[in-house]
Structure 1
Amino acid sequence: MDPVKEVSIKSMSRNMHKSRVFGYAYIVLLAAELCIKMCLYMQQTNITLYILDGGGTTVIVGAVTAAQLISSLIFRPIAGTISDRSRLIPMLFGAIGYMAVTSIWLMGVPVAYAPLVAAMQGMCFSFTSTGVYSLAADVVPEEHVTHCYTYLNLVETAAAAVSAALAIHLRNISGNGLVFRVVFGISLAVVGCMMLLSLTSWKKNGGHYYHPSRLFSDYRKAKRAEKARGVKSEGFFAKVVDKNAFRPAAFYMMIMFAGQAVIGYLVAYGKAENIPNPGVFFTVQAVTVYIASLFVGHIDERFGSKAVLLPGFAFYFLAMATALFPLSYTTIFISGIFFGLGVALVQPELSSLAVRMAGAEHRGKANSTVGVMMDIGGASAGLIFGFMIDTSGYRSIYAFAALIIVLIAVVYIIMNKKKQIL
């Protein structure tokens, strides 16, 4: 047998039904995802403090967040289209680009130019994350896609748990430069993971061999088959957004909007309240996510998405409501538990819904759609919350985020009754 055999994505999914989740490729992808998210969260924490230390305001912090996410929003459709042709090209491009952008931070960036560099960073992140999530769904059994995204979410949570505290610790030792040097080293590890995937083929269930770079051939075969059947060419919107994945992605957008109140501003809020290390929130969140994630996949398989999402929305609301109380380690701890439960239940479930509703042939575009909507939510939140903090203080953004969560839950209940979402 040829060591690198071309197979269609559909055949690949059917043949992998009995294979284990934690194969070689998936483990390498988990390692890559851990490194990618550590880079993201360490940069996010460090750049926020870098701007504030340099005399910048929360408006500039919001502009940096928005610039990064808007850039990611613009480039994700491109990343998704390329990913449906070859999974590894966007991942490798993004990883190398992230190293280059980190080197720019190392040289010292004036606060006024921080949004521009953040935009370059967002472009690189859009390529790596879209490629990782698309390939991850390929190399696990079809019926375990929810578990696949749950484990990716666990890895992301682990990165969030240590990255903020690690960045602050490194800053205390030797300033911003040390943090940027460590991020550069971690991004180099991402490139190493991508090279491992590009240079190695691995055995699939049923004796077939799969190599992600060969997906380009599968995409061309699918397009030729569609042309032979007389399928019309897609319009612009259909090329960048998968219509079947759009509804779960829209919910993800609103969740990311509300969650940005914590992800983007809790560290700065804690510092403003003279709390030495507010990053402990992410550690508490991570422990909670790990415990809760043991049950998410089983709840989904037994009771369906509704039993996962509605409690998840409730926990998100409680996290925001808790943050309305005077900030202390107690409220940080309680809010971290609620936020962790919300993340564990909602995020992997919505990602899984998007992929399942889109179908195996459009996983790249489905993940791109989710990413685009996430970026819209995060970018708009960065701009809006920055101005709200300047005018009304930090608590105002948590009250607004709580109202958004209530709206999400109401809309979901209505759509679920009308069978407009799984």
Structure 2
Amino acid sequence: MSSSDNINNKSEKNISVLWSRAFIFLIAVSLITATGFNMVYTVISKYSMDIQNSLAMAGVISGIFSVAALVMRPFAGMMADFFNKKYLCIGANVVIGLSVIGYFFSSSIPVLFFFRVLHGVAFGVSSTVNIALATRFIPKERLGEGIGYYGIGQVVASIIGPNLGIYVVDKYGFQTLFIVITLLSFLGAALLLCLKYPAEENKMENVRARSKLTIDALIAKEGIIYAIIGGMFSFGNGVVSSFLILLGKERNIANVGIFFSVGAVVVFLLRLFVGRIVDKTGLAIIVNISLIVSAISMVLIGVAPTLGLLIVASVLKSIGQGGGQVSLQSESIKRVSPSRVGVATSTYYIGADIGQGLGPIIGGGISQYFNYTVMFMVCSVLLLVSMVVFNVYQRKIRYSVDGEVQQTAE
């Protein structure tokens, strides 16, 4: 066997490895960044109220973060495709740390607003570029599995982050919280410095950095439908997060918070194996089952008179969300070339951000004129409509591919 054959075999062996040190580091960075976000997200409105006693302004301070992250998404995707992903992630983590330190020194609402926007922009870059970087260390045939494992860090952060943030504030105060989050962000940057970046990736980025700015550099048209479908899961999340507690009070259902705890545990467990199912089973069956299960969960929430039925709905909702979002996100990345993974990632996240934002707005309007039952029924119908759109699109793609194959054969 020649030396070149040995090199090729070694390269193929390395490519097939999922649990590399780089991949583990990136999961850790994702966990750190998401934990910091969840720690501050639950208490920032209270901090704003301490500076200026205005509920309206507290809402603006809380929500502007998501707006800034959303606006930054397409540019973050473009940057991920054009420039060195490793150093973009390091820079984003450093800016996150600096923006949180800025909270520490914010003595007025305008200053806090500035650092909140800066934090949102940096988080938009970090969350987009980090997963684009992670895909460079995930074998293509195991992409669904890899993305599923990658999301475990974010799920764990959503479980521990909010309560940890509240605990630190109650026990030690806001200033200590901000210092802890800043140190976590800098720790994430330090881990990234230890990451060995693929040499061939540097060469590709040097070429792409000289490319022109186009719509294709900002939006992956191949993944728009998947982003919309994925956004419908987020739409339901936004509605549930905003109105479930109110629904529980209206129906005299105690301990409604258990719904979120059960859901987080189910999503965590699902992430351990759903990616492998996606890779082996295929996209269509997973997405269809996920949308149906999610639609049923919305109906159950809408009519639930007891906590027991809400918990059943929580399990179903988490199964649908976990399977659907992982499969749609991995398919969005598979649809593009390796040089456009960043824009595919940002396009998918844009759909999620919009769905998460529109859910409470539209849901609030429906519940105001009708009731919570109608609101959740509308969510269920939208999920089923999304299933129709998804299957029509998949059929169109299949016919398009079959037509190209037939034309080539002729």
| TM-score class, shorter | 0.7 to 0.9
Deviations 1:287-319 (A, max 9, x none): 212333344233323321112111111222233
Indicate the RMSD between aligned Cα atoms, in angstroms: 3.8
C-alpha displacement at 1:138, in angstroms? 0.4
Deviations 1:177-224 (A, max 9, x none): 44x7436424422332322222443xxxxxxxxx26873432224678
Pair 1:25 & 2:22 matched? yes
Seen in structure 2, the aligned counterparts of structure 1 residues 118 and 152 have a Cα distance that, compared at 3 Å, is same
Task: Return the alpha-carbon distance in structure 1 between the equivalents of residues 111 and 255 of structure 2.
Answer: 28
C-alpha displacement at 1:354, in angstroms? 0.7
C-alpha displacement at 1:127, in angstroms? 0.8
Give the counterpart of 2:328 among 350, 353, 357.
Answer: 350
Which is higher, the Rg of structure 1 or of structure 2?
A: 2
User: 1:75: which partner in 2?
Assistant: 72
User: 1:318: which partner in 2?
Assistant: 296
Give the counterpart of 1:192 among 175, 187, 196.
Answer: 187
Deviations 1:121-140 (A, max 9, x none): 32121111011101110012
Counterpart AA for 2:55: G
C-alpha displacement at 1:147, in angstroms? 0.9
Partner SS for 2:69: helix
Task: Return the alpha-carbon distance in structure 2 between the equivalents of residues 107 and 391 of structure 1.
Answer: 43
Task: Return the alpha-carbon distance in structure 2 between the equivalents of residues 243 and 397 of structure 1.
Answer: 31
Give the counterpart of 1:220 among 187, 193, 206.
Answer: 206
Counterpart AA for 1:182: L
Seen in structure 2, the aligned counterparts of structure 1 residues 111 and 405 have a Cα distance that, compared at 3 Å, is farther
Pair 1:260 & 2:238 matched? yes
Give the counterpart of 1:365 among 321, 338, 343.
Answer: 343
Q: Does the Cα contact within 8 Å between 2:96 and 2:185 map onto a contact in 1?
A: no
Counterpart AA for 1:31: A
* TM-score, length basis structure 1: 0.78
Seen in structure 2, the aligned counterparts of structure 1 residues 292 and 138 have a Cα distance that, compared at 3 Å, is same
Deviations 1:78-118 (A, max 9, x none): 22222222112332232222223333444567789977654
Q: Does the Cα contact within 8 Å between 1:258 and 1:404 map onto a contact in 2?
A: no
Seen in structure 2, the aligned counterparts of structure 1 residues 114 and 399 have a Cα distance that, compared at 3 Å, is farther
Partner SS for 1:418: helix
Pair 1:410 & 2:403 matched? no
Counterpart AA for 2:387: A
Q: Does the Cα contact within 8 Å between 1:32 and 1:193 map onto a contact in 2?
A: yes
Partner SS for 2:18: coil
Share of identical aligned residues, percent?
Answer: 20
Task: Return the alpha-carbon distance in structure 2 between the equivalents of residues 235 and 184 of structure 1.
Answer: 38
Task: Return the alpha-carbon distance in structure 2 between the equivalents of residues 244 and 79 of structure 1.
Answer: 18
C-alpha displacement at 1:30, in angstroms? 0.7
Task: Return the alpha-carbon distance in structure 1 between the equivalents of residues 112 and 367 of structure 2.
Answer: 20
User: 2:133: which partner in 1?
Assistant: 135
Seen in structure 2, the aligned counterparts of structure 1 residues 116 and 248 have a Cα distance that, compared at 3 Å, is same
Q: Does the Cα contact within 8 Å between 2:23 and 2:138 map onto a contact in 1?
A: yes
Task: Return the alpha-carbon distance in structure 2 between the equivalents of residues 346 and 289 of structure 1.
Answer: 11
Seen in structure 2, the aligned counterparts of structure 1 residues 333 and 101 have a Cα distance that, compared at 3 Å, is farther
User: 2:158: which partner in 1?
Assistant: 160
Task: Return the alpha-carbon distance in structure 1 between the equivalents of residues 351 and 265 of structure 2.
Answer: 27
Give the counterpart of 2:100 among 99, 102, 118.
Answer: 102
Q: Does the Cα contact within 8 Å between 1:388 and 1:396 map onto a contact in 2?
A: yes
Task: Return the alpha-carbon distance in structure 2 between the equivalents of residues 111 and 386 of structure 1.
Answer: 27
Task: Return the alpha-carbon distance in structure 2 between the equivalents of residues 238 and 323 of structure 1.
Answer: 40
Give the counterpart of 1:37 among 26, 34, 37.
Answer: 34
Task: Return the alpha-carbon distance in structure 2 between the equivalents of residues 25 and 126 of structure 1.
Answer: 21
C-alpha displacement at 1:274, in angstroms? 8.2
Seen in structure 2, the aligned counterparts of structure 1 residues 191 and 50 have a Cα distance that, compared at 3 Å, is closer
Task: Return the alpha-carbon distance in structure 2 between the equivalents of residues 339 and 144 of structure 1.
Answer: 25
Task: Return the alpha-carbon distance in structure 2 between the equivalents of residues 261 and 114 of structure 1.
Answer: 28
Q: Does the Cα contact within 8 Å between 1:17 and 1:141 map onto a contact in 2?
A: no
Partner SS for 1:21: coil
Seen in structure 2, the aligned counterparts of structure 1 residues 325 and 14 have a Cα distance that, compared at 3 Å, is farther
Which residues of structure 2 form unaligned runs of 5+? 1-7, 402-410
C-alpha displacement at 1:151, in angstroms? 0.7
Aligned length: 390
Q: Does the Cα contact within 8 Å between 1:246 and 1:369 map onto a contact in 2?
A: yes
* TM-score, length basis structure 2: 0.80
C-alpha displacement at 1:393, in angstroms? 6.3
User: 2:404: which partner in 1?
Assistant: none
